[in-house]
Amino acid sequence: MGRRTQADRDAITIEIGYAFISGCFAAALVFGAVYGPALVFDVSPTVSAVLTLAAGVLAGAVFLLRITHVLWRFGRRAENDGG
């Protein structure tokens, strides 16, 4: 395994940035979809707390899954290209 070129390092950096930004966006969408009804409807504080917790947990899971998926796909693509 040889040294990585500057182009390889740049591609990895861009892919990590893309994974992070798309993970944040997906997590924000999930959080809004789960917690949104608490903002629109008049719900009790208990329901609001449960929705906040559920939205946070699901958003965190989606964030991690998105980052893992993007970076895993990039790693497999790099292996298939001979890199």
Encode pLDDT of 54-79 as tens digits.
999 999 999 999 999 999 999 888 77
Model pTM? 0.84
CB distance 78 to 10 below 8 Å = no
User: Residue 76's pLDDT is what?
Assistant: 86
CB distance 19 to 71 below 8 Å = yes
Q: What are the CB-based long-range contacts (under 8 Å, 24+) for 72-78? A: 74/12, 74/15, 74/19
SS3 for 82? coil
Q: In whole angstroms, give the CA distance from residue 67 to residue 22.
A: 8
